[in-house]
DNA sequence: TCAAAAGTGTTGCATATACACCCATGA
DNA sequence: TCATGGGTGTATATGCAACACTTTTGA
């Protein structure tokens, strides 16, 4: 292994920061933590950590997510790298941002307490350290783009969900109302819904059927090559 | 400046690698170099360089692009970060990939010689070092997505171009033929074409009018929020 | 006069949008 | 019985895809 041409170069701290999205049935939220170390200790922040010698950046992001939520096998995607010189006033740190979609009811409350983590509706997020506000906004934007092409919204729901819940989720993501009939029509055309023979009780008089997500017969037409003409 | 909580962490070499696209009138090409240092010296590679202490990653990418082409103010966009542990066998290096669109007739030939750079049609690219093939493919994919939503293809053309040339470009990007009439119709609807009172002579009997790109009245309807329903 | 590329419109089809009524149930 | 939310279909408009002939001019 020849490092001769490398070893004179400047090395940089590389962090991963996770934008963790959840949906409580009404609002789209992000999980933020109170930073436990200097600088900016005690301020609100995305969950992050430094990339270690023996792990890839994807692994690092998964580790960080696991540290906070106790969850594995979560939908996660790289957003992009943020590498401005002065983004962290305490030193040169490049951050690689990831966003994750989790079922909000499904994570470890104990870990949440330890990290002083809290779910914030996106419209009411507190002031964040460094450029984390920028990362959060960019993640939200990317989520919208992504959800328009791929059926990934389901990652934010429990395994069984109703159509009204599903619609609320999409309305929360896009911050706009959709027509019920058109929404369902489009959703069904994707071919990813399994209707169950069971109704949700309590939330309404009539009760809404449960569905589950099934990407076995996902209609890839929708995913297929975005072309110009 | 308190570095106390940072200084024990592992620091990593961060490189930027540029996927430089050009269009010669027929084919979409990428500018590749013969690597001038170990490891893998003499093999084909993307143009890259290490991020320095005093520069952001965007700046680094622009510097690297300038080193090879002599060009500034070029369209460039971050692709994503590649951070697998073993992507570079000679050491831990994280690469942040950028792609650039340049007017192929417009760069410094002298620098090209010094770097032993060569334009390769994407379908005939040589074996590349490390994971550079992956970066190149991903850049091509991203270019297609991007071109479908934003009028950035013009960055690959000279200031004056004809409609047939423009169509050839899009056909090269998507590797499929388009219908002339539909293509022009769509292109005009973007509102970014200025017809000039001058014809290109020589390439055909009839001659084709020159156009120039003008995003003053770009119809942002096309860019506007991709929503689900 | 002919060959080769440039330029231009219309029609059918598919998809998206807009919209209103009935159903089931618990209180 | 009524108030609340759940469920469904149709008619219109819009955008997309398919398609063929005329024009210009250099050889």
Query: H or E segment at B182?
Result: helix B180-189
Residues of B in contact with A56 (CB under 8 A): 83-85
Confidence of residue B63 (pLDDT cuts 50, 70, 90): very high
Q: How far is the CA of A216 from the C1' of C1 (A)?
A: 62
Q: DSSP readout, B204-220?
A: SSS-EEEEEE-GGG--G
A52 secondary structure, DSSP code:
P
* Least Cα separation, residue B25 to chain A (angstroms): 18
Confidence class of residue B1 from pLDDT cuts 50, 70 and 90? very low
Residue of B nearest to A179 (CA): B229
Asked whether residue A217's C-beta has any atom of DNA/RNA strand C within 7 A, the reply is no
Which of B81, B94, B151 would best serve as a mutation to test chain A binding (most A beta carbons within 10 A)?
A: B81
- Determine the distance between B22 (CA) and D15 (C1') in angstroms: 32
Q: End-to-end distance of chain B based on CA atoms, in angstroms?
A: 50
Measured between beta carbons, the chain A residues lying within 8 angstroms of B174 are: 225, 227-228
Nearest to A148 among B12, B38, B228 (CB): B228
Q: Angle at CA A64, nearest 5°, toward A58 and A70?
A: 115
User: Mutate which of A2, A40, A64, A81 to test chain B, going by most B C-beta atoms within 10 A?
Assistant: A81
Structure-token match 């027929």, residue found: B26
- The reply to whether B226 has its C-beta less than 7 Å from any atom of strand C is no
A38, A148, A229 ranked by CB distance to B179: nearest: A229
| Contact between chains at A11 and B9 (C-beta distance less than 8 A) | no
B211 sits in the region (left: phi over 0; alpha: psi -120 to 50; else beta) called: beta
**How does pLDDT run across B147-199, given as a tens digit for each residue?**
998 999 999 999 999 999 999 999 999 999 999 999 999 999 999 999 999 99
- Say how many C-beta atoms besides its own lie within 10 A of residue B191's C-beta: 16
In this predicted structure, the answer to whether residue B47 has a pLDDT above a threshold of 80 is: yes
For chain A, list the domains and their CATH numbers. Answer: 13-149 (3.90.79.10), 157-222 (1.10.10.10)
Q: How confident is the model at residue B109 (pLDDT cuts 50, 70, 90)?
A: confident
Phi-psi region of B42 (alpha: psi -120 to 50; beta: other; left: phi over 0): left
Residue whose C-alpha is closest to residue A36's, from A125, A107, A105, A116? A116
Protein residue at shortest CA distance from C1' of C26: A205
Instruction: Report the distance separating Cα A42 and Cα A36, nearest Å.
Output: 6
CA–centroid distance for A105 within its chain: 14
pLDDT digits (tens, 9 = 90+) for A86-128: 999 999 999 999 999 999 998 888 989 999 999 999 999 999 9
pLDDT at B11 over 90: yes
CB pair distance less than 8 Å for A37 and B80: no
CA distance A70 to A20: 13
User: pLDDT below 70 — which residues of chain A?
Assistant: 1-4, 220-226
User: Which pLDDT score, from 0 to 100, does residue A159 have?
Assistant: 97
Can you list the alpha helix ranges (DSSP code H) found in A14-162?
Answer: 57-69, 109-114, 132-149
Nucleotides on strand C with an atom closer than 7 A to protein CB? Answer: 3-10, 16-20, 23-26
What is the sign of the dihedral through the CA atoms of B110, B116, B122 and B123? positive
Please state whether beta strands A208-213 and A44-45 pair in parallel, antiparallel, or not at all (unpaired): unpaired
Give the closest of B12, B60, B183 to A229, CB-based.
B183
> Could you tell me which of A151, A77, B193, A157 has the C-alpha nearest to residue A168?
A157
> What's the confidence (pLDDT) of residue B38?
86
Residue of B nearest to A176 (CA): B227
- Residues of chain A positioned with their CB less than 8 A from the CB of B225: 144, 174
Nucleotide nearest to B222 (CA to C1'): D15
Residue whose Cα is closest to the C1' of D17: B182
Q: Tell me, what's the pLDDT at B224?
A: 54
Q: What is the mean pLDDT of residues B136-157?
A: 96
Residue A57 with chain B: CB contacts under 8 Å: 81, 83-84, 94
pLDDT score, position B2: 42
Confidence at residue A3, expressed as pLDDT on a 0 to 100 scale: 47
Q: Which H or E element spans position A11?
A: strand A11-23
Q: What are the backbone dihedrals phi and psi of residue A216, each rounded to the nearest 5 degrees, phi first? A: -60, -50
Strand order in the sheet with B208-213: B160-162, B208-213, B193-200
Stretch (H or E) spanning A49: strand A47-50
| Per-residue confidence (pLDDT) for residue B36, from 0 to 100 | 86
């Amino acid at each position: 292994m020849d490092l001769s041409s490398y070893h004179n170069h400047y090395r940089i701290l590389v962090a991963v920061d996770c934008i963790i999205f959840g949906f409580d049935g009404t609002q789209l939220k992000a999980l933020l933590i109170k930073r436990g170390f200097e600088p900016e200790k005690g301020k609100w922040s995305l969950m992050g950590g430094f990339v270690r010698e023996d792990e890839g950046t994807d692994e690092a992001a998964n580790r960080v997510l696991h540290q906070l939520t106790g969850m594995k096998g979560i939908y996660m995607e790289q957003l992009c790298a943020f590498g401005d010189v002065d983004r962290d006033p305490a030193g040169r740190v490049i951050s690689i941002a990831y966003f994750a979609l989790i079922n909000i009811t499904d994570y470890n409350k104990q870990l949440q307490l330890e990290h002083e983590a809290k779910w914030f509706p996106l419209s009411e997020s507190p002031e964040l350290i460094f450029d984390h506000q920028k990362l959060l906004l960019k993640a939200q934007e990317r989520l919208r783009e992504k959800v328009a092409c791929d059926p990934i919204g389901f990652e934010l729901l429990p395994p069984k969900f109703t159509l009204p819940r599903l619609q609320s989720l999409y309305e929360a993501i896009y911050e706009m109302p959709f027509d019920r009939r058109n929404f369902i029509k489009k959703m069904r055309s994707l071919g990813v819904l399994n209707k169950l023979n069971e109704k949700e009780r309590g939330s309404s008089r009539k009760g809404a059927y449960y569905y589950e997500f099934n990407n076995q017969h996902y209609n890839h037409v929708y995913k297929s090559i975005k072309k110009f003409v």
